[in-house]
Homo-oligomer: A and B are copies of this chain.
């Protein structure tokens, strides 16, 4: 089964917005082993929408269209789909009554324009939309010399679409693909290693399992390894386990999770919660990003106490107790100051652990000795001596934003390794230096 997605909406042809609904749809198609062969966007133009729907239905087995089901004059997907299929629209009074009731429940009268949303293509199955007023449709195209294909119409509002995808598209896909060996995927997330390093390390797995089995997706400071297997359940599982074992062997402790929904900050949080320990931050060049990452996690107040953004040297002294003499002798971007910031934050905030970051994010402030991208990170943990503070000096590539993102990511990963009792990131061949 081959599928195509069409997003309708002039705003998706502008300079700011992309059709993100297609990512959610691609995920569902992937889960059921349906190949997504093409995606398209057209504006609010009845002729264009009809022409494109007609073409896609002539070429693919499943067409998922989003958007253009609203009540206003520029919502034209209903009419255009009817044109493409050569079928009339039929007014459904029970849908109009449902929409009217929905408005009444909110204490307002239904605007006349919403009556259009009760028009359904002849022969379509109505897909109810509990989160909005625009119902969706499923239509078996074909007959009359037309190729057999299925068309779904969904609203463009992401929440509404997502609800209807779960309630109707997924059951339909499950039935339509039943009996075929399903496709199943897993993911490993790798923190704080460059994409090229991870790619090099897993060459052996490409060779062993086939390049198409494993996909690398890179974000700043994070690489995701997606891998796939098809076939019967037992066969699939065995294959996925084999790939997973090989990847673990090749990539090692840099894999921080196999949970598609997990984040690095959440993983660090779970480790802290599990140990009953607390953390704090001391940031200069990242300007609060490490604290912001840690506090994205709901419930992070259980283990995160707080942090200092010490941008000025004066605040490094007053908030974190970094000796002025150290700052004068080595400069704010130095191993000595990073270590003192981490130890100072741990002491000042009475935390078990502290992450400290000081560096030159750029574009200004670089020198020959400390070029832009130079960052010193330190993690202080339980223990009385200097050795309890781990330090790394790296030079990151990229612009200000990238340097800050990579710094925050490496700081979190350094803490994760300490908490999990894993080897330091400094021992990773191919890590940033």
Contacts and interface: CB of A to CB of B under 8 A. Distances in A.
A267 interface: no
A423 interface: no
Contact of A307 (B48, B296, B309): B309
A362 B300 CA distance: 11
A43 B48 contact: no
A419 interface: no
A45 B37 CA distance: 9
Contact of A48 (B38, B55, B285): B38
A19 to B, nearest CB: 7
Nearest to A55: B55
Interface string A17-31: 111101100110010
A66 to B, nearest CB: 14
18 contacts: A12-B39, A15-B27, A18-B19, A37-B43, A38-B48, A281-B288, A281-B309, A288-B289, A289-B292, A292-B292, A295-B311, A298-B364, A300-B311, A306-B308, A306-B310, A306-B315, A308-B308, A308-B309
A84 to B, nearest CB: 15
A402 to B, nearest CB: 12
A40 B41 contact: yes
A363 interface: yes
A22 B15 CA distance: 8
Interface string A317-357: 01100000000000000000000000000001110000000
A417 interface: no
Contacts of A378: none
A167 interface: no
Secondary structure at the A interface, as helix, strand, loop or mixed, is: mixed
Interface of A: 11-20, 22-23, 26-27, 30, 36-43, 45, 48, 52, 55, 215, 217, 224, 281, 283, 285-292, 294-296, 298-301, 304-312, 314-315, 318-319, 348-350, 362-364, 400-401, 404
A4 to B, nearest CB: 9
Copies in the complex: 2
A383 B363 CA distance: 35
B292 A306 contact: no
A298 B363 CA distance: 7
Contact of A296 (B283, B364, B401): B401
A47 to B, nearest CB: 10
A39 B38 contact: no
B319 A312 contact: no
Contact of A306 (B48, B52, B312): B312
Closest 4 CB pairs of A and B: A287-B295, A288-B288, A288-B291, A306-B315
Nearest to A310: B306
Contacts of A291: 287-288, 309
B30 A15 contact: yes
A295 B358 CA distance: 13
Which of A11, A305, A309 is packed against the most chain B CB atoms within 10 Å?
A309
A58 to B, nearest CB: 11
Contacts of A42: 37-38
